[in-house]
Amino acid sequence: MMRSRPLKVALLGCGVVGSEVTRIMTTHAEDLAQRVGAPVELVGIAVRRPDRVREGVPAELITTDATALVKRGDIDVVIEVIGGIEPARTLITTAFEHGAGVVSANKALLAQDGAALHAAAERHGADLYYEAAVAGAIPLVRPLRESLAGDKVNRVLGIVNGTTNFILDRMDSSGAGYSEALDEATALGYAEADPTADVEGFDAAAKAAILAGIAFHTRVRLDDVYREGMTEVTASDFASAKEMGCTIKLLAICERAADGQSVTARVHPAMIPLSHPLASVREAYNAVFVEAEAAGQLMFYGPGAGGSPTASAVLGDLVAVCRNKLAESTGPGESAYTRLPVSPMGDVVTRYHISLDVADKPGVLAQVATVFAEHGVSIDTVRQQGKDGEASLVVVTHRAADAALSATVEALRKLETVRGVASIMRVEGE
């Protein structure tokens, strides 16, 4: 039996995502009511620029006073899609204080202050849902914190930024340079006018913090995530990757240590074998590979950004929170019981691809090999090409700690026969 009194919803932000949320709530109102068990009514939309034209958005719902909207007292759910730290943080906590559940797409805020927000939600008996903060339409947060709640997740490896994947895919498939591929991404609307958050890995790092916290039941903040952008990836790197049967992706990698006593979270470009499922993820799509003890290997794939995909995730959370409201209950909150420390990047163990510019003369390879051996880094393969007194030396290592590899590279730079280190890239997915 459906309840007649509607559940009232306030929307904070009405850009690309907010406008699409409004459209879906309006055009699918009857379906949403049937799925929730009560009508769901959008009663207010807070924006900064009220005079902006918003097609399909009822003008009578627009307000510039977001604080007053969330303080109304009759609001059941607040949807926050304004992004950033403030005023989003204050508005969300105010919503909790006035009895509303919250649906958010704010990855930056959740990565920085997720623990405090969860604590506020628990204190006021409210829900905090944020599927849209990680991978757009791809169901990932709910499977990790609900479907896999009885399992032990050991690794989460994924492409969680569509802009960077589009750029790297273009570089791989067409041989384009970074700048050329970025220009194409911008022209097609995949990249912002200022793409720094994407190409320097800030966006992916925030998502990695959220994923690691959920997967390993511990608190991981944005500052805990090692971050390395992809602006230095070159066509030569892709050529080397192809020679190894690999491609290059910007990956978010969250891992539980082999002894189970710590975790790591990192974002950086990496070579992955063409046989790995993530290698075939093209264009602006996202995909996340999860490894769990009982479930084994799982892959989640789909559009990771854009108005419609993100709105889909927001509406899924809205239905869940509304159902909880009707049942006078709340969904799962923060699970951080393991309290595992986050290890520094220097402790991370992986393989490396190093390209060196060296003098083309006898004994160079022996000198380089000696440096690797002195720092405990084992060499898997070596390839050398030389011409007119100069040579390129490509070394692929066995698995080694990042700190040991860094020390090795510093020692190599001091050799007179090494003209420079052309590139260093990690090799993952093996």
Find the catalytic residue in 8, 71, 152, 207. 207
> Would you call 158 helix, strand, or coil by DSSP?
strand
Q: What are the Cα distances from residue 250, in Å, to 150, 158, 288, 327, 352?
A: 30, 8, 12, 42, 15
Which two three-digit tokens encode residue 414?
């001091």
Distance CA 10, CA 92 (A): 11
Residue (of 301, 144, 139, 310) closest to 220 by Cα position: 144
State yes or no: is 207 an active-site residue: yes
Q: What are the Cα distances from residue 194, in Å, to 129, 228, 264?
A: 29, 17, 29
The rounded Cα 244 to chain-centroid distance in angstroms is 27
The rounded Cα 162 to chain-centroid distance in angstroms is 10
Distance CA 384, CA 368 (A): 12
Distance CA 266, CA 35 (A): 39
Task: Kindly give the interhelix angle for 364-374 and 402-413, rounded to the nearest 10 degrees.
Answer: 140
The catalytic residues are 207
